[in-house]
Amino acid sequence: MDALSGPRSRRIDFLFLRVAEVVLIPDGDLEALKSFESDDHLVLSVYLPLDTPQSRETVHDEFVRQVEIQLAECQAQPDCRKAVKEDIEIVSLYLRTNGHRRHAGLAIFSCAPKFFWRAYPLPMAVPLHISAGQRFDIAPLLQVRNQGLVEIRHPAR
């Protein structure tokens, strides 16, 4: 048996494959995020790091904690709180039950009044970021794409 065919070489191959993972996002999805018309509803953009066992275990609690901090910091009016309440509940339910916890990061986009929901596993950890506004915050998603770890898939012609 040569040095390259032993158990150690398989481990190196596995590690290389894990690092080289690329997430495919349909180009129509990216366009939908960019051009989404909220019709004056708030939309929620959430980026979560899931790269450690602890972050995967605590992602739901950390999400809830960060949402509360942000709402308190902006002295959210009851109408604002109500506007994102359903989106927060949907994301919370998703994180408690699934959450793509096999990947290093997660991006979620939600607008409950318009029945819009997207969740994308990411092959790298992203800083925790929660944003509510009239448009989805796709800048962190584009940064991951620009690193070559997210590929926008064009439909076959």
- pLDDT at position 147 is 73
Closest C-alpha among 68, 45, 69, 47 to residue 59: 47
Is residue 157 domain-resident? no
Domains in the chain: how many in total? 1
Length of the chain: 157
| pLDDT over 50 at 4, yes or no | no
Of 118, 109, 119, nearest to 45 (Cα)? 109
Residue 32: inside a domain? yes
Is pTM, for the whole model, over 0.75? yes
Flag whether 65 is in a domain. Answer: yes
The verdict on residue 106 lying in a domain is yes
11 within domain boundaries: no
Give yes or no for residue 27 having a pLDDT over 80: no
Joined together, the tokens standing for residue 84 give 């994102």
pLDDT tens digits for range 87-105: 999 999 999 887 667 888 9
Within-domain flag for 37: yes
pLDDT tens for each residue of 115-147? 999 999 888 889 999 998 899 999 998 888 777
Provide φ and ψ at 156, rounded to 5°: -65, 140
pLDDT at 39: 92
Residue 139 belongs to what H/E stretch? helix 139-146
Tell me, yes or no, whether 20 lies in a domain.
no
> Would you state the structure tokens that stand for residue 150, as one six-digit string?
């997210």
- Pick from 2-11, 32-41, 68-77: least confident: 2-11
Kindly state the tokens that stand for 141: 């998603």
Q: Is 58 within a domain?
A: yes
Q: CB atoms < 10 A from the CB of 44, how many?
A: 25
DSSP H stretches of helix in 20-135: 27-35, 53-73, 78-97
Reported confidence tier of residue 74, pLDDT bands at 50, 70, 90: low
Query: Which of left, alpha, beta for 47 (phi over 0: left; psi -120 to 50: alpha)?
Result: beta
Q: For a pLDDT cut of 70, what percent of the chain falls above it?
A: 73
Q: CA end-to-end span of the chain, whole Å?
A: 47
Residue 108 domain boundaries: 26-151
CATH of the domain at 40: 3.30.960.10
